[in-house]
Amino acid sequence: MTLKRMRFLKELFAFMGLGGRLRLEWISSAEAQKFVKVVSEFTEEIRALGPNPVGRYTCESGKKIGRRAACPTAPDPVLADTAPGPHTVPRAAAEGR
């Protein structure tokens, strides 16, 4: 069941533009060195991917907000290039990356 959920979540993350940000490892509590290695590797992978491309908007006030719902006048990311107004939407978010 866990593998089935992970496959679903990986597909969902990829669809949301978050591919590569999910990992499953089976590690025993007796494998401390393996745990450190896996966490270090995954941390580096995430750093290499850069900041989270989803949900980065700036509202009229210039305040960064995490979700579009927090600033209802923010443009739809799909229409980011054509939407008028003082909002900024990163191109990666607008293109679904």
Which of the pair, 1 or 56, is modelled with greater confidence? Answer: 1
CB atoms inside a 10 Å sphere around CB 25: 12
Contact at 8 Å (CB) between 35 and 27? yes
pLDDT at position 51 = 83
Q: What is the rounded average pLDDT of the residues 66-95?
A: 50
pLDDT at position 83 = 47
Which of the pair, 54 or 75, is modelled with greater confidence? Answer: 54
Q: Per-residue pLDDT tens for 23-61?
A: 999 999 999 999 999 999 999 999 998 888 776 555 555
Closest CA to 53 of 9, 93, 10: 93
For residue 87, which phi and psi values (nearest 5 degrees)? -80, 150
State the pLDDT confidence band at 84, using cuts at 50, 70 and 90: very low
Does the structure show a pLDDT above 90 at 69?
Answer: no
pLDDT at position 81 = 47
Could you say which DSSP state residue 67 is in? S
Spatial separation of the C-alpha atoms in residues 37 and 86, rounded to whole Å: 44
* Longest Cα separation, the chain: 57
